[in-house]
Amino acid sequence: MNTLPKFVQENAQKATETLLPLKSKEKYEKEFQTFTAWQSKHKIFTINETVLLSYFQELSEKYTPTSLWTKYSLLKSTFIVKKKTDISNYNQLIYFLKVKSKGYKPKKSQVLTGDQVFEFIKRAPNDI
Q: What's residue 127's pLDDT?
A: 75
- % of the chain with per-residue pLDDT over 70: 96
Angstrom distance (rounded) from CA 93 to CA 51? 10
**pTM score of the predicted model:** 0.76
Q: What's residue 105's pLDDT?
A: 72
Question: What DSSP string runs through 102-125?
Answer: TT--PPPPP---HHHHHHHHHHS-
Q: Domain extents for the chain? A: 24-102
Q: Residue 47: which pLDDT band, with cuts at 50, 70 and 90?
A: very high
User: Could you read off the pLDDT of 70-96 as tens digits, one per residue?
Assistant: 999 999 999 999 999 999 999 999 999
